[in-house]
Amino acid sequence: AGSRRQGTAGTPRRSRRRKSLAIAYEAGQGGGAEPRWEPQHWREQLQRIREMRSSRDAPVDEMGVHRCYDSGAPPEVMRYQVLLALMLSSQTKDQVTSAAMLRLRQRGLSVDSVLQMDEETLGRIIYPVGFWRNKVKYIKQTTAILKQKYGGDIPSTVEELVQLPGVGPKMAHLAMHIAWDSVAGIAVDTHVHRISNRLKWVKKETKNPEETRVALEEWLPRDLWKEINWLLVGFGQQTCLPVNPRCSQCLNQDICPAAKRL
């Protein structure tokens, strides 16, 4: 927590260098006199999405990262498995990530086991995850850093996590949620990015998930930050699809700005 506070205080040089991080961690916490902007109907939309997600039968529910690690492993091994699953999950379907993690765990997945594994073997195990060749390199590099710098554990701050090869902001925030049970920000992937723009949960259209994260953190109550990823990812997998969204099946059809009304 201390490192995050330093992002907005301290010397001018440090402030310049870490300005983007300060925005990332402290958006929405200001005490300005201007009333906070909120999207129209967002509470009703959120409650209806909860209703649509109540059966918990989307791919993310059964095979998401929170299901990919060995809950009986030592805490540092569990956290490492969470991070690895997140690295594999980028641009990869949950089903494929889950299968790759199962194959890795069958070989005793830990920092030491991956360090002892050659790249060809690692690649064969994780294939066909998206961009598997790049991920082999990132996993080997990151695992070596974890061994040397963190004693085989993973960092406990977003700032340190995003410095690891192959780890982006979404992965870092989810790692904080799942591995450390800490909410440092909203984890925004393509589903959350797409749905937030369709529902007009952003003041103006955002171009990428990171812009969406900052925009959401400016108004969404902090106690919802952890829930929103799980809700919207499953909603995006089942109903609010990237192409041909199933608007006729959506409870928000009457109050969604992007709904196709028949």
Question: In the predicted model, what is the mean pLDDT of residues 182-191?
Answer: 96
Question: In the predicted model, what is the mean pLDDT of residues 55-84?
Answer: 96
Alpha-carbon torsion (237, 240, 242, 247), positive or negative: positive
Encoding tokens for residue 110?
Answer: 């830990």
Answer with the residue of higher pLDDT: 36 or 160.
160
Query: Which of 204, 206, 212, 195 has the alpha carbon at shortest distance from 247?
Result: 195
260: confidence class by pLDDT, cuts 50, 70, 90: confident
Return the pLDDT at 4: 42
The active-site residue, picked from 93, 170, 207, 226, is 170
For domain 68-184, give the CATH superfamily. Hypothetical protein; domain 2 (1.10.340.30)
102: confidence class by pLDDT, cuts 50, 70, 90: very high
- pLDDT tens sequence across 8-36: 444 444 444 443 443 344 444 444 556 78
Return the pLDDT at 33: 55
The answer, yes or no, to whether residue 233 has pLDDT greater than 80, is yes
Question: In the predicted model, what is the mean pLDDT of residues 111-129?
Answer: 98
- One-letter identity of residue 71: S
Mean pLDDT estimate for the chain: 90
170 labelled catalytic: yes
Q: Out of 1.10.1670.10, 3.90.550.10, 2.40.10.10, 3.40.50.620, select the CATH number for domain 38-55+185-261.
A: 1.10.1670.10
Cα of first residue to Cα of last residue in the chain, in angstroms, is: 50
Question: In the predicted model, what is the mean pLDDT of residues 200-204?
Answer: 97
Task: Indicate the domain borders of the chain.
Answer: 38-55+185-261, 68-184
Cα maximum dimension of the chain: 59
Question: In the predicted model, what is the mean pLDDT of residues 25-50?
Answer: 77
Return the pLDDT at 35: 79
